[in-house]
Structure 1
Amino acid sequence: MTDTLDLWSTEGAWLHVQTRDVTAMAVDLVPPPGITFTGRLDGARMGDSDGVFEQFWNQFRFPDYFGWNWPALSDCLRDLQWIKADRYLVVIENAGSVLDGTPDDWETFLGTLHRASAHWANPHEKPAGVGIPFNVLLVCDPEEVAEVRERVSVMVADV
């Protein structure tokens, strides 16, 4: 996790926490040429694992065989054959509300996102042997930033 906002790299931070009022140059937010898939999820609807699964299923257009559990989420995020893209960005708004009803799932959730990011960054079996960025942006209100960063810091420090 870092304060430097680089959403389009396979190197460095894969997870970013920013406030809604973050000031960034527009050029930093525009993806490089190619196909970018952005899944915009609402953390206010992700208070428990079912909400997490529903948001990903809807926004990433998961196939009907999606199993509605953590291993299935991990598998689908590491597949994404139905979404051809040069880079993936997961934007979770209202990030302070994610899994607030079931905090024990928080580590599983971040681990799932980390595994997806690591899978896509690995150039093995990727087109032209080049890793594909899969990054996560957690967006929250300014008064929630410290808490959200604290919640993710333990997980990010372990990976």
Structure 2
Amino acid sequence: MTALDLRALLADPLHSGAYFVDEHDTAAMAAAGAALDFAVARVDLGDCADKAAVLAQIGQALQFPDWFGGNWDALADSLGDLSWLPAPGYLLLVEHAGDWRAADGPGFDTLLAILGEAATDWRTRNVAFWVLLPLPAEELQQLED
């Protein structure tokens, strides 16, 4: 896919959502989001051992205000607002999620559901909201099988 095709895809809110992608596409996705003037946030879950660390990483990456409560409901509320981070669209790159997914499958599933709901909510406002979870090709293949 060319850079122009990627930008066209990301600019379309109707297709936005939460998706697993090949980690080799991360740089191209980030560059395409930046070219669209999207708020691009990289969330590194590599050292996250629990829900509190995951929420802190997301909050830091998206510059959540001090009132962020650090729980799942507060995450959903904050993702649905983002008034402190105005942009024509949003791209979250949730990197190194595999370890936390393996350690806390139910927590990961909750996070994925909240991210997907946020994308749906933004889509109803005609704003692109992408959550991309880059994985190594072999992990991505396992998910597809």
The question of a shared fold, defined as TM-score above 0.5 by the shorter chain, is answered with yes
Alpha-carbon distance in structure 2 between the residues aligned to 1:71 and 1:49:
13
Residue number in structure 2 paired with 1:83: 85
Compute the displacement of 1:94 (Å).
Answer: 1.6
Size of the aligned set, in residue pairs, is 139
Match 1:142 to one of 128, 137, 143? 137
For the structure 1 residues 51 and 8, does the alpha-carbon distance in structure 2 shift closer, same or farther, using more than 3 Å as the test? farther
Compute the displacement of 1:12 (Å).
Answer: 2.6
Match 1:41 to one of 25, 35, 43? 43
For the structure 1 residues 117 and 138, does the alpha-carbon distance in structure 2 shift closer, same or farther, using more than 3 Å as the test? same
Alpha-carbon distance in structure 1 between the residues aligned to 2:107 and 2:23:
25
Identity of aligned residues (%): 30
Scaled by the length of structure 1, the TM-score of the pair is: 0.74
Equivalent residues in 2 for 1:38-117, closer than 5 Å: 38-117=40-119
For the structure 1 residues 105 and 9, does the alpha-carbon distance in structure 2 shift closer, same or farther, using more than 3 Å as the test? same
Unpaired runs of 5+ in structure 2?
none
Specify the code of the residue in structure 2 equivalent to 1:14.
Answer: G
Compute the displacement of 1:20 (Å).
Answer: 2.5
Alignment RMSD (CA, Å):
2.9
Compute the displacement of 1:133 (Å).
Answer: 0.5
